[in-house]
Amino acid sequence: MSDVVLKVNDLKAWFDDFNAVKGIDLEYKRNTINAIIGPSGCGKSTYIRCLNRIHEEVAGAKISGEVLLEGKNIYAPDADPVEVRKHIGMVFQKPNPFPAMSIFDNVVIGPRLWGERNKKNLEEIAYKSLQKAALWDEVKDKLHQEGTSLSGGQQQRLCLARTLATNPPIILMDEPTSALDPIAAAKVEDLMMELKDEYTVIVVTHNMQQAARVADYTSFFVLGELIEHGLSSDIFTNPKNQKTEDYITGRFG
Amino acid sequence: MVEMVSKDNIENNTSSPLKKRGISYKQQDKIAFMILRGFALAIVLLLGLMIYQLFQASAPAIKEFGFSFIYNDFWNPIEDEFGALPFIYGTLVTSLIAILIAAPVSIAIALFINEYLPKALGNLLGLFVELISAIPSIIFGLWGLYYLAPWVKDSLTPILKSTLGFLPLFSGPSFGIGILTASIILSIMIIPTITSVCREVFKVVPSLQKEAALALGATKFEAIKLAILKPSFSGVMGAVVLGLGRALGETMAVAMVIGNSAEISKSLFGAGATMASVMANEYAEADSEIHLSALCLIGLLLFVVTFFVNFFARSITWKAKMRGKKV
Amino acid sequence: MKLSPQRKFKNLLFKFLLTLASVSVLIPLILIFNFLLQKGSMALSLDFFLNEPKPVGELGGGMAHAIVGSLTMVGLSALISVPIGILCGVFLSEYRQGKIAAILKFTIDILTGIPSIVIGIFSYLIFVVTMKSFSAWAGAFALSIIILPIVTRTTEEILKLIPKHVREAGLALGLPKWKVILHIVLKGSKNSLITGVILAISRASGETAPLLFTAFGSMYFSDKLTEPMASLPVQIYNYAISPYDDWQRQAWAGAFTLILICLGLNISARLFFKRKELKKFFVRKS
């Protein structure tokens, strides 16, 4: 198996006539954490939303270029976006447990709707996913309460558990901690580090300290263009591009 | 790593990994969309069919009477002569009087709920007003026939006669049932509609201006007049016109208290009929083809009128709301 | 700053007038209830709920056949319109960009505004003319056209309350759109949808005009949908305008029953909604 799990070739994206992502080429290695940083409006959110074909659900969206998952283009004419999303999961900015649905049902909804009916298996999946999301101990006695009854940080970990239950090799996270308080955010950050053993994580963040702490690689975006990409240790200590340096030292953005 | 979920793994399917076997998800979604679109189109067609059927059924009457149907004032099923003017007149008069009564009352209630009452109490009053709209038309009719009509005859008429009796509007004897009673019932029935739309319109008026006016030392009345009523004028008009739309088509309550006579009475105490009430009264018993067709033509006219009234109302409230949101 | 007496007076007068209007709107509500309670409850009896009418001149009998008829036709119309209305609401909310959605929205707006008597004529032209007989089907069809736009609009508005990112989260799990709509969007709005449906049904149960010359009415129990069928509102109407005291008395009893049904449905729908909301609130607090 090749070391590169996801390869992006000349990816461009538009909202109607607005060109939000302007030709990105990147590679992501297996079992790494990859951060995307940049000033707001730099297209980092749109970019990550192209990686699991969710950008196209927005009215007026257009995309060109290639994204190769294990060498297969997810934008090939015969590729099914739903199938793509089974392999590339996503956690969103706002915690969004499904309404009027218990914690348990929230976690297992993916496998269940894919056809897993066996109650034992579903319970097993719920247990493992909640364990991995470090939520099991907090919710094991109230699995049948509504997911929306949890606190914000717990809700976000529930959303992570929900994604883990579908067991995608790649997990995208779009500013997963920006709606959380610092303590809850730190918990999610710790989780990312643990997930690295089994998953490849790509995370958009507005928080540079977070990127520096958790990410192996960091990409810096400005106005839809990739300015610099490399090992986080290099980017944050020895940036090659002036813009990057201005941004990480707080002079720009 | 333990495979927790059984799913098509990438490695399993070498030819085209991101493709589902069997009916693909794309196709599933396409089918779902087609089904929904099918129903949507069916509903659009249903409306088309309705318009077509009404035209078709009215055709003999249109052919026979042409435009004179609208301005002829005799309606004689025995002689098969039909002119709809008495019903058009009855519909307009009852609806206008209803609006004259209901509009100020509804606007007042909406202001009282939104601006004066504490939230819980306001919601309670709002609920009561909405309950009025949940009362079936037939019950208004029954109440109108056995309670309101005698009251109009015995209490309201003497008062009106002694004060405004010199007007032709209030001349002649009152039997209780008639145009006035029908108008009062209608006004009660459309209050919930106007009130709820007014409340929505008032809500989108930015409260900044009102607070500014209050801060400048205006009384609450002045602040409301300047900062709420003035900017929302067109929205309120929309609400009133929407109420008019409801009044025009109201059938049972009117049919039970208006007296059902195809005449144009100058006095509000006199009996009359509306476009809706004549359909309710005569349709089941009409035996000649031209009579049925004339009734269908009235239905078609009523349909067209309510369509334009509702359309007009909606476009002005919509504009008012958009403006409110922009500010 | 001191207010001039005139301004002060105007302010007070305004408040007084608003209060007066608000109180006066409650008067007819109270009067109607009082009227029905007095006349209606007195006329109620077990007989009323269990029997069909007796021949003219004989006292007694009831409206059982009309109650059953109403249930049948309202039930049938709900069976037709609730699924279609929800599907159309889903279309308006989930596929709102398309041209057809715009046309459907316009159509639904028109349907909402059509006077119910005109809908009655339409059903007459479609069913009664072709089948050459008044029928329960024609009545149910008319009622279903009345329910349909209500269900569609409430469904649309309710579904729009679910934020977009919740739908995206469903899609991101690798679920096809139709499963997201069915299992996440619709299921998540279940309580509000039930409320909307009950409100629509309560509206249909009180409709008279569209039944007058479709289902027409009958003095007997009828189990055939192709024949005329009695309904509570039409029966009330026929009795109310009849010259017989006993029938008028029964009309009041019928009206009392009808308003209990309509308001009962209406209020229970609201309570059902509120209770669930309340529970959610409670759980979150704890």
pLDDT number for residue A253: 55
The domain B85-326: what is its CATH number? 1.10.3720.10
Interchain CB contact of C60 with B (< 8 Å): no
Fold of C62-285: MetI-like fold (1.10.3720)
If you measure CA to CA, which chain B residue comes closest to A74?
B18
- Shortest Cα distance from C5 to chain A (angstroms)? 54
**Average pLDDT in chain A:** 92
| Range A51-79 average pLDDT | 92
Q: What is the pLDDT of residue B55?
A: 96
Separation between Cα atoms, residue C224 and residue B228, nearest integer Å = 57
Residue B23 contacts C, CB cutoff 8 Å = no
Domain total for chain A? 1
Both tokens of A42, joined, read 């730099």
Identify the residue with better confidence: A250 or A4: A4
pLDDT > 70 fraction of chain A, expressed in percent and rounded: 98
- Residues of chain B that touch chain A, judged by Cβ-Cβ distance less than 8 Å: 1, 3-8, 10, 16-20, 24-26, 29
Least confident of A63-67, A236-240, C180-184: A236-240
Helix axes C5-35, B119-134, angle to 10 degrees: 40
CA distances from C159 to B250, C89, C155, C164, C271 (A): 31, 8, 6, 10, 20
**Which residues in chain C are closer than 8 Å to B104, comparing Cβ atoms?**
21
**Which pLDDT score is estimated for B6?**
40
**pLDDT of amino acid B13:** 39
Percent of chain C residues topping a pLDDT of 90: 70
pLDDT in tens, A122-143: 999 999 999 999 999 999 999 9
Interhelix angle for C116-123 vs B25-65, to 10°? 90
Residue A186's domain is classified under what CATH number? 3.40.50.300
With a cut of 90, say whether residue C276 has pLDDT above it: no
SS3 labels along chain A = CCCEEEEEEEEEEEECCEEEEEEEEEEEECCCEEEEECCCCCCHHHHHHHCCCCHHHCCCEEEEEEEEECCEECCCCCCCHHHHHHHEEEECCCCCCCCCCEHHHHHHHHHHHHCCCCHHHHHHHHHHHHHHCCCHHHHCCCCCCEHHHCCHHHHHHHHHHHHHHCCCCEEEEECCCCCCCHHHHHHHHHHHHHHCCCCEEEEECCCHHHHHHHCCEEEEEECCEEEEEEEHHHHHHCCCCHHHHHHHCCCCC
* pLDDT reported for residue B11: 40
Decide: A191 and A213 in contact? Cβ < 8 Å: no
pLDDT at C69 over 90: yes
DSSP B228: I
Cross-chain CB nearest to A101 (options C176, C188, C191): C188
Q: What is the pLDDT of residue C236?
A: 94
Is residue B304 less than 8 Å (CB to CB) from chain C? no
Cβ–Cβ gap B219/C10 under 8 Å? yes
- Does C148 lie at the interface with B, CB-CB under 8 angstroms? yes
* Chains in touch with B (≥3 Cβ pairs < 8 A): A, C
- C75's CB contacts (< 8 A; 6+ apart) are none
Burial code of A144-179, b = ≥16 C-beta within 10 A, e = fewer? ebbbbbbeebbbbbbbbbbbbbbbbbbbbbbbbbeb
In angstroms and rounded to an integer, the radius of gyration of the C-alpha atoms of chain C is 24
Report mean pLDDT in 10-residue bins for chain B, 327 residues: 40 48 84 96 97 96 92 89 94 96 96 93 92 94 94 91 86 88 96 94 84 86 89 91 95 94 90 95 89 95 95 84 62
| Residue among B84, B96, B147, B105 at smallest CA distance from B268 | B96
Q: What is the pLDDT of residue C1?
A: 55
Q: Are C171 and A85 an interchain contact pair (Cβ–Cβ within 8 Å)?
A: yes
Cβ contact C255:C37 at 8 Å: no
C neighbours by CB contacts (3+ pairs under 8 Å): A, B
CB-based contact B301:B87 (threshold 8 Å): no
Phi, psi of A186 (to 5 degrees): -60, -35
Spell out which residues of chain A touch residue C190, defining contact as CB-CB under 8 Å.
Answer: 100
Which domain covers residue A51, as residue numbers?
A: 4-248
Burial class (CB in 10 A: 0-12, 13-18, 19+), C194: middle
**Residues on chain C touching A168 (C-beta within 8 angstroms):** 174
Tokens 């309510």 found at: B306
Q: What is the pLDDT of residue C283?
A: 42
Contact check, Cβ <8 Å, A90/C283: no
Amino acid code (one letter) for B264:
I
pLDDT of residue C2: 67
Q: Is A117 exposed, middle or buried (0-12, 13-18, 19+ CB in 10 A)?
A: exposed
pLDDT of residue C48: 83
Query: Among residues C137, C213, C125, C143, which one has the least CA distance to residue B281?
Result: C213
C174: Cα separation from own chain's centroid: 39
Helix (H, G, I), strand (E, B) or coil at C180: helix
CA–CA dist B185, B256 (Å, integer) = 11
Give A85's contacts in chain C (Cβ within 8 Å).
171-175
- With CA atoms as reference, the chain A residue closest to B29 would be A82
**Which tens digit of pLDDT belongs to each residue from A140-174?**
999 999 999 999 999 999 999 999 999 999 999 99
Are C168 and A92 a contacting pair at CB < 8 A?
yes
B17/A76 touch (CB, cutoff 8 Å), yes or no: no
Question: For residue C232, what is the nearest residue in chain B, using CA coordinates?
Answer: B138
| Model pLDDT, residue A53 | 94
| Max CA distance (Å), chain C | 79
Could you give the CA distance from residue B109 to residue B236 in angstroms, rounded to a whole number? 13
Distance CA C143, CA C150 (A): 11
- CA quadruple A247, A250, A251, A253: dihedral sign: positive
Helix, strand or coil, per DSSP, at residue B75: strand
Is A253 contained in some domain? Answer: no
Closest Cβ–Cβ partner in B222, B251, B296 for C116: B251
- Chain A CB contacts of C173 below 8 Å: 85-86, 89, 109-110, 162-163, 166
Per-residue pLDDT at C36 exceeds 50:
yes
Tokens of C268: 């229970």
In angstroms, the CA C188 to CA C169 distance is 14
Residues of A with a Cβ under 8 Å from any C Cβ are 52, 54, 57, 59, 82-87, 89-90, 92-94, 96, 98-101, 109-110, 113-114, 145-146, 148-149, 159, 162-163, 166, 168
Q: Which backbone phi and psi does B7 adopt, to 5 degrees?
A: -155, 165
**Which residue reads 């028109």 in tokens?**
C110
Can you give the pLDDT at residue A165? 95
B47-80 burial, b if ≥16 CB within 10 A, otherwise e? beebbebbeebbebbbebbeeebeeeeebebeee
Q: pLDDT digit string (tens) for A6-52? A: 999 999 999 988 999 999 999 999 999 999 999 887 889 999 999 99
